[in-house]
Homo-oligomer: A and B are copies of this chain.
Amino acid sequence: MTSTDPTPPLRPTRQRRAVVEAMTSFADFRSAQDIHELLGERGDQVGLATVYRTLQRLAEAGEVDVLRTEEGEAIYRRCSESHHHHLVCRSCGATVEVEGPTVERWTRSIAAEHGYAEVSHTLEIFGTCPACA
């Protein structure tokens, strides 16, 4: 913890590039397995373990968002860098990134009111999108 690199150099391998690229090919949340399958169909053979590893890295780096389905499965989606939330269609998965000072302020004040520090929060909105209505 004194002088070692916290993040060792990342090599831009064929597999990593393939995963990153695949992430740009859809706009909703997909599971690691889905993405693995998608890669296969495209002809980019990538091991399942590698897909998991890569998604993890991307998530840590804040380049993809991770959500949990009701069943506890992790699902991923590329995302913008700033803090935001999602409005997700329950039926087709169509996702809109949303943000706004209102919630941020509200959560902060609620936390402060109870003396909680280092506040973070998760918020997802679900609904039926216009196309699926």
Give A contacts to B, CB under 8 Å: 68, 72-74, 87, 89-90, 96, 98, 100, 102-103, 106-107, 110-111, 114-130, 133
Query: Which residues of B sit under 8 angstroms from A115, Cβ to Cβ?
Result: 129-130, 133
Asked if B110 and A98 make an inter-chain contact with CB atoms under 8 angstroms apart, the answer reads yes
In the bound assembly, the distance between CA atoms of A121 and B125 in angstroms comes to 4
Copies in the complex: 2
From A106, A116, A124, residue with most partner B Cβ within 10 Å: A116
Closest to A111 in B: B127
- Using A72-B72, A72-B73, A125-B111 as known contacts, say yes or no to A103 and B100 having CB atoms under 8 A apart: no
Asked if B111 and A100 make an inter-chain contact with CB atoms under 8 angstroms apart, the answer reads no
In the bound assembly, the distance between CA atoms of A68 and B107 in angstroms comes to 19
Asked if A118 and B123 make an inter-chain contact with CB atoms under 8 angstroms apart, the answer reads no
Query: Which residues of B sit under 8 angstroms from A126, Cβ to Cβ?
Result: 119-122
Asked if B96 and A106 make an inter-chain contact with CB atoms under 8 angstroms apart, the answer reads no
